[in-house]
């Protein structure tokens, strides 16, 4: 692979690098078939605060002869622990990590025997500085399983105490021929956006999504291509329909939840539905 200018500079003029930041934690469901690893249903996990990766390995197995170490079989990765601190999980992310069922008729979700906690890949970006140059390195832990979530909360005092959520997971070997447990790219990136795009590609997450507007019998509205994590733009002018008054855009076909263009980030192909008032 051809080296970029930043990596060439660091190769010849820098002697090391120091970590200066952490961001963009992602998760994706882990799949393995016939020794081939793949990822599905990838998404942003939350906003990253801190990450710690503690791998474990077997002991070296040394062979001694003539009163000295003659041969050595190096220890191999056997597992590890991931500790990930984030601002806090949205319910959709919590459902994915914990393998939770759909909500019951009363709108509540149960933690219990019907949980199916999945194996997931975890990706994130570390920021480094070397020789005055800042670079970004995406990293993927190939196969992990999160432990049951803990939570600590305290009442607000005179000043807000920003309370975060700590997640822990077991790191495992992948089921490919080499039992890979971590992926890193050969080259670092000059910007966080470039590193995030590479991370999303490796996790099989689209970098853009299509937003489709279902006018429910009204005049056609063009679809939009939206960058992942971005916002759709409310169509203007609004669609029209004979003998009906346009009554807004909704997130569901049943027209029960109004779509908030200012606050709803687009993280998948999305359909938005028009509501009409046909009353006198």
Looking at the fold, whether 265 and 240 belong to one and the same domain comes out as: yes
122 vs 144: CA distance, rounded Å: 7
Give the pLDDT band of residue 207 (cuts 50, 70, 90): confident
Range of the domain at 242: 208-277
pLDDT over 70 percentage in the chain:
91
Give the pLDDT band of residue 4 (cuts 50, 70, 90): low
266 vs 17: CA distance, rounded Å: 35
Residue that terminates a domain, selected from 140, 169, 202: 202
Is the predicted pLDDT of residue 6 greater than 60, yes or no?
Answer: no
Write down the pLDDT at residue 8. Answer: 55
Write out the two tokens for 238.
């609004």
77 vs 164: CA distance, rounded Å: 30
Q: What is the mean pLDDT of the chain?
A: 89
The total of structural domains in the chain comes to 2
Out of 52-61, 70-79, 159-168, 215-224, the most confident range is 215-224
pTM above 0.75, yes or no: no
Looking at the fold, whether 219 and 239 belong to one and the same domain comes out as: yes
Looking at the fold, whether 213 and 162 belong to one and the same domain comes out as: no
118 vs 170: CA distance, rounded Å: 12
Residue 55 CB partners (closer than 8 Å, separation 6+) = 77, 79, 80, 171, 181
Is the predicted pLDDT of residue 272 greater than 90, yes or no?
Answer: yes
């Amino acid at each position: 692979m051809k080296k970029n200018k930043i990596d060439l500079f660091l190769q010849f003029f820098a002697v090391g690098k120091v970590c200066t930041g952490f961001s963009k934690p992602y998760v994706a469901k882990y799949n393995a078939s016939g020794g081939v690893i793949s990822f599905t249903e990838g998404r942003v996990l939350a906003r990253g605060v801190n990450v710690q990766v503690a791998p474990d390995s077997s002991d070296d197995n040394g062979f001694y002869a003539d009163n000295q170490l003659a041969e050595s079989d190096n220890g191999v990765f056997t597992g590890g622990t991931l500790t990930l601190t984030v601002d806090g999980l949205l319910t959709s992310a919590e459902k994915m990590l914990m393998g939770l069922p759909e909500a019951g008729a009363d709108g509540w979700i149960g933690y219990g025997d019907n949980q199916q906690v999945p194996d997931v890949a975890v990706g994130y970006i570390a920021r480094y500085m070397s020789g005055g140059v800042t670079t970004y390195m995406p990293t993927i832990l190939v196969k992990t399983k999160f432990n049951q979530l803990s939570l600590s909360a305290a009442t607000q005092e005179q000043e807000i105490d920003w309370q975060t959520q700590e997640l822990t997971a077991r790191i495992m070997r992948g089921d490919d021929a080499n039992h890979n447990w971590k992926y890193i790219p050969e080259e670092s990136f000059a910007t966080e956006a470039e590193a995030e795009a590479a991370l999303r590609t490796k996790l099989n997450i689209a970098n853009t999504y299509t937003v489709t507007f279902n006018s429910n019998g009204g005049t056609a509205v063009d679809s939009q291509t939206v960058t992942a994590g971005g916002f759709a733009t409310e169509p203007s002018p609004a669609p029209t329909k004979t003998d009906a008054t346009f009554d807004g855009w909704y997130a569901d076909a049943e027209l029960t939840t109004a779509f908030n263009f200012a606050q709803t980030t687009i993280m998948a192909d999305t359909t938005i539905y028009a509501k009409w008032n046909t009353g006198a």
